[in-house]
A = this chain, B = another copy of it.
Amino acid sequence: MKGGNCLNEKTTTLTIEEKEIFMLEAIKEAKKAEAIKEVPIGAIVVLDGQIIGRGHNLREESQDATAHAEMYAIKQACAAIENWRLERAQLFVTLEPCPMCSGAMILSRVAEVYYGANDPKGGTAGTLMNLLSDERFNHVAYVESGILEQECGDLLSSFFSKLREEKKLLKNQKKD
């Protein structure tokens, strides 16, 4: 069992075991996306050890540009506690968040953010920049990457590799 990488000076309130248990729940969400041919990304929000928000990517099905896993999880969590402030909550997501989702985490003031795989193309919680650690905003969250990184990353690479195979097949069928 390998711990994640803390990306700023805030502190975690969870053990490695707890982090992995919760990331497995985010992975369950990602698999729901995969099952309907959406890019497999999943997220959950935890408060006092309870999951109060869940979500998976639904961009294609909903045709809504904002339909990211984290947005659903945050909205559901706010609804669950009838409060837009998720101040003691932890958020788990299989892929490093984009600017929109990092921004939603700042706005909802989640205390701790844990993610699996890095996103070299658009990640803004450590890769391209770290919006969640930028003290010019009115909230800074604890950020830790690399929780079940391999499993989270494999889900995505296997999805895209299948997609490429399907496209190749389709191209070859058209040629025949």
Contacts and interface: CB of A to CB of B under 8 A. Distances in A.
Copies of this protein in the assembly total 2
Contact of A138 (B78, B82, B107, B122): B122
Contacts of A71: 66
Nearest to A132: B99
A117 interface: no
Q: Is the interface of A mostly helix, strand, loop or mixed?
A: loop
Interface stretch (A15-23, A83-91, A165-173): A83-91
Contacts of A67: 84
Interface stretch (A2-10, A57-65, A143-151): A57-65
B66 A74 contact: yes
A81 to B, nearest CB: 9
A74 B65 contact: yes
A107 B65 contact: yes
Contacts of A101: 100, 103
For the complex of A and B, list the 9 residue pairs with the smallest distance between their C-beta atoms, beginning with the closest.
A100-B103, A99-B103, A65-B108, A65-B84, A65-B107, A100-B104, A64-B78, A63-B84, A66-B104
